[in-house]
Amino acid sequence: MKLKKVLVPAASLLLFFSLWEAYYWLLINNPLLLAPPSRVLTTFIELMTGCNPHFYMPLDMVYSLFHYAVGFGLALAVGLSLGLLIGWFRLADEFSYTIIELIRPIPPIAWIPIAILMLGLTHQAASFIIFIGAVFPIILNTKYGVASVEVKYLEAAMTLGATKTSTLIMKVVLPAALPSIMAGLRVASGVAWMCVVAAELFGVAPYGLGYQIEMARLYHAPELVIAYMFAIGVLGFFLDRIYKLIESKVLAWRTGFVLA
């Protein structure tokens, strides 16, 4: 079973790269338009090892992860707090609903001019864009999780002596809402990582993977562009795996009660 979990993804990747390689040599065959995976892999290794004098990918990864950590960390703090508040208090939900639903549909990219005007081309501006993209999935999933806690659990806890609101929230509400909260965190993490690239690509921060994609385009080097795209995908994959591992630990009690 463990071998199958490795072989199936490996086979799908091999098929994908083989079709890409064939597509390039049979239909494109122009290094100014596209690069085959064989050339992209070579370029990726050069970028990671510092062989390219103009690009150094590990440093760009650090900058992008820094932007992600700051923006997503703020979104986590605000989203969990606000989601818990509006999920627990109906008046807070009614008061905030219109404001949230007016702002939430605005794409994070649309905030880039405002971020530049307020914060300039800085790390803070990039983190602001990431915050905007990540905070709403956390708010809504936390609110839904809290509001969906069955009253019988609260009544049972109060019968056993948990009469303080803080005790009910910590001992009953948050554990019961945790599956929804974790789902929101994984969705928000994916959105935040996409916003990292968008913010850097539009020049909000003059560093990072997204910024170097634009620089590589100016060099007319598709292999550089795709190599940085590949780095974005790899880091995004590992970020999601980290959250999935955390989810499996904190929700271990669900094993045997759900399908997955």
Helices 123-147 and 90-103, axial angle in degrees (round to 10): 140
Contacts of 142 (CB under 8 A, 6+ apart): 79, 80, 82, 83, 84, 87, 177, 180, 181, 184
What length is written for the chain?
Answer: 260
Tell me the average pLDDT across 137-158: 84
Would you place residue 258 in the very low, low, confident or very high pLDDT band (cuts 50, 70, 90)? low
Residue 159: pLDDT over 80: no
Least confident of 13-22, 24-33, 155-164: 155-164
Express each pLDDT in 207-222 by its tens digit: 789 889 988 888 888 9
Q: Please tell me the predicted confidence (pLDDT) of residue 19.
A: 92
Tokens 């103009």: give the residue.
54
DSSP state of 170: I
Q: Please tell me the predicted confidence (pLDDT) of residue 257.
A: 57
Give me the chain's average pLDDT, please. 86
> Mind giving me the DSSP string for 228-250?
HHHHHHHHHHHHHHHHHHHHHHH
Q: Please tell me the predicted confidence (pLDDT) of residue 1.
A: 57
pTM beyond cutoff 0.95: no
**Which whole-number Å values give the CA distances from 78 to 72, 127, 215, in the listed order?**
10, 14, 34
Q: Please tell me the predicted confidence (pLDDT) of residue 255.
A: 65
Q: Please tell me the predicted confidence (pLDDT) of residue 207.
A: 79
Question: Does the domain made of 36-254 have the CATH classification 1.10.3720.10?
Answer: yes
Q: What gap in Å lies between CA 210 and CA 60, rounded to an integer?
A: 9
- Find out whether 84 and 169 touch, Cβ atoms under 8 Å: yes
